[in-house]
Copies of this chain bind each other. A is one copy, B any other.
Amino acid sequence: MAGNSLGKEFVITTFGESHGKIVGVVIDGCPAGLPLQEKDFQEDLDNRIPAQPNIVSARIEKDRAKILSGTFNGFTTGAPIAITVENKEINSSDYDAIKDKPRPAHSDLPARIRFGGFNDYRGGGRFSGRVTVALILAGVIAKKLLSTIKVEILAYTKAIGNIETENPTLEDIRKNRFNSPVRCPNSTASKLMEDAIIEAKKEGDSLGGIVECITLNMPVGVGEPLFEALDADIAKAMFGVSAVKGVEFGVGFRAAELKGSENNDQYEIKKNKVSALTNNAGGILGGLTSGMPIIVRAAIKPTPSIAKQQQTVDLAKNENAPLSVKGRHDPCIVPKAVLAIEAVVAVTLVDHLMRAGFIPIVLKEH
């Protein structure tokens, strides 16, 4: 299974399991000259986990990034950057009970077959949401690089269960997303989502949702069609985040129902600048950036691990068995997925921007 790297010129390789010593990432191809310190990771590590314990399961002690290589005197050197975060407060006892009872909708069963039973099943092991911490680490560096050319990226919770927020303003997203326990910038929708999660939790159930990610200020023409089209690579990266079941750009699946005359984004020219009147395309045409904001959404499935009783099989006893999953599980992983989605999109953009020459291999000044 050699699929733990993402990117071609800006390459991240992640490692670590839920109940192992650490999770971590190696970033290869980062330009030299980017200011980077361990404290730069703290904001995103903190924002990954909402402070409200009724919304997500939280390890009490904070995650802290440790830079192992690739920086010198406070700047990146051009050498590979290895960063780890320690796994603390691990309690693996809950998992022995379910070792032979694969959780429905989780990777337990296919992973067991793929790895001949050698996989670390504790907490989902390599398939745990915990491994997205490594994505967060890479995302911090990618976003610092994007900011050197004024590209801004903003992910937020668009929907949880059947509650969907209207399109928030950019300003709302910037200001409010991390104040919301569910990472939804609209306070009314946020409250409803929060209530829905608490309700689902009470029932021993879980909820899914939708994360939207908006990227502003991308140069035009970035992407390498056919197969390394920018939308193709963004989608691939997003499916690398646990629990993503669908990805769409702009109007997405709704495009299937529109007529050409409704879907086409017509152009106008103002002061020598061409722009589109609408952005149904979500900022990507023919696999290349169009100059409009990139709008992409991911559908996140409800957490598979639920307290409510389900039917599974006991592989040791070779019989059907009831299962009620114990232990620390989020009733909804959407809030935690927001920064992971943002991170993988940022990483993909940096990779393509470097390949197209928009981010150089040495940053002279910033």
From 237 to 289 in chain A, residues with beta carbon under 8 angstroms from any chain B beta carbon are 237, 239-240, 242, 244-269, 272, 274, 276-277, 280-282, 285-289
Whether A260 contacts B227 in the complex (CB less than 8 A), given A16-B69, A69-B17, comes out as no
Selected from B231, B260, B355, the residue in CB contact (under 8 A) with A306 is B260
Chain B residues lying within 8 Å of A222, measured Cβ to Cβ, are 114
Whether A239 contacts B229 in the complex (CB less than 8 A), given A206-B259, A252-B299, A269-B318, comes out as yes
| A335 close to B (CB within 8 Å) | no
Chain B residues lying within 8 Å of A41, measured Cβ to Cβ, are none
A286 and B29 within 8 A (CB): no
Whether A21 contacts B69 in the complex (CB less than 8 A), given A3-B227, A14-B226, comes out as yes
- Specify the chain B residue showing the minimal Cβ separation from A312: B267
B287 and A209 within 8 A (CB): no
A362 and B115 within 8 A (CB): yes
**Residue with the highest number of chain B CB atoms closer than 10 Å, among A159, A200, A251, A274:** A274
A17 and B127 CA atoms in complex are apart in Å by 31
A162 and B257 within 8 A (CB): yes
| A10 close to B (CB within 8 Å) | yes
**Residue with the highest number of chain B CB atoms closer than 10 Å, among A106, A228, A305:** A228
A360 and B357 within 8 A (CB): yes
B11 and A5 within 8 A (CB): yes
A272 and B318 within 8 A (CB): yes
Chain B residues lying within 8 Å of A254, measured Cβ to Cβ, are 299
B13 and A2 within 8 A (CB): no
A302 and B2 within 8 A (CB): no
From 115 to 134 in chain A, residues with beta carbon under 8 angstroms from any chain B beta carbon are 115-116, 118-120, 122, 125-127, 131
B226 and A3 within 8 A (CB): yes
A245 and B27 CA atoms in complex are apart in Å by 28
- The number of residues on chain A lying at the interface, defined by a beta carbon within 8 Å of a beta carbon of chain B, is 155
- Specify the chain B residue showing the minimal Cβ separation from A268: B320
| A60 close to B (CB within 8 Å) | no
- Specify the chain B residue showing the minimal Cβ separation from A347: B227
Chain B residues lying within 8 Å of A357, measured Cβ to Cβ, are 357, 360-361
A245 and B118 CA atoms in complex are apart in Å by 39
A315 and B109 within 8 A (CB): no
Selected from B68, B113, B161, B229, the residue in CB contact (under 8 A) with A22 is B68
Chain B residues lying within 8 Å of A268, measured Cβ to Cβ, are 311, 313, 320
Binds B, one of A49-57, A78-86, A146-154, A170-178: A78-86
Q: How far is the CB of A293 from chain B (nearest CB, A)?
A: 14
B245 and A246 within 8 A (CB): no
| A301 close to B (CB within 8 Å) | yes
- A-B pairs, top 8 by smallest CB distance, nearest first, are A107-B286, A3-B228, A2-B29, A3-B224, A114-B221, A246-B248, A206-B260, A232-B239
Q: Beyond A77-B126, A105-B280, A116-B364: 10 further Cβ-contacts under 8 Å?
A: A1-B29, A105-B281, A127-B225, A227-B236, A245-B253, A245-B255, A246-B247, A248-B248, A255-B302, A266-B312
